[in-house]
Structure 1
């Protein structure tokens, strides 16, 4: 999990998954026409700004597989994530239903499918390969749990760009009661 008090650095990487990798090379070569190789884009957390040292997953997070790191925040926190696209296609980082101050003077609630999506400076716009974007979100009481709910409320973040070949790794956002 990423502590909101530290800057969270997330980098997109391409990892490929090939079925039956334990077969001998000659046999796999002959089976290629029958086996499909899937390349998936995944979010990964890094501990440094230079994106060189990945954050290792603990025993409780090993099962996450292709899912990205869990982002945790409390109500009234200002969450900042530095996103570097190291994939070969444009992607974005979208924290669903949370107020964004990435560009401009005011706070905008990020809504997938907004008529403003894709406009320069608007949350959810494409980050080209090799580019870095800094996202800033304000976590408000509206995104937190109500008195009748548990202490944490799940949310999601994902890429709004290239959805068919993109980030299938929707992760949870845990927002703690203050």
Structure 2
């Protein structure tokens, strides 16, 4: 395990907020990789997310836009500029487990930029036909949205379905990837 530690021998947990086309995103990383992406990271959202991450990992999150997060910032910037279609970041999956982790890993590796998949199809891909609702729960618990593209999961009838970042954010991400037309204004 390649876990960076701080000067006190504890695992590192670094965070920053970056601007994006869909609003401010809080990024957090451990020595294993990117661990969390949080939408709409205004001050109250940021405080709550950092408190939860600190409690989960037992360390005080440290603000930094270099070190553990430099590559995540670079790749997200390239993604929103339309220059990156596949993330190559190391990911720390410790905030998801079991079925949710299985579904999210399949989503990350099996649904390409510019494509969509239905909840039921994703359930079938992980060997759990009939678990479409559970896939929806996994999408709602995704700690790494955008990078693990839960915005690419839609209803079987073509509806957008739900989205933790809000339906307008989902529309914007799908438009960026060419799945939906860009808004007129």
Q: Which has the higher helix share?
A: 2
Larger relative contact order, structure 1 or 2 (CA cutoff 8 Å, min sep 6): 1
**TM-score past 0.5 threshold:** no
Task: Give the structure with the higher percent strand.
Answer: 1
Larger radius of gyration: 1
TM-score of the superposed pair, with normalisation by structure 1: 0.28
TM-score normalised per structure 2: 0.28
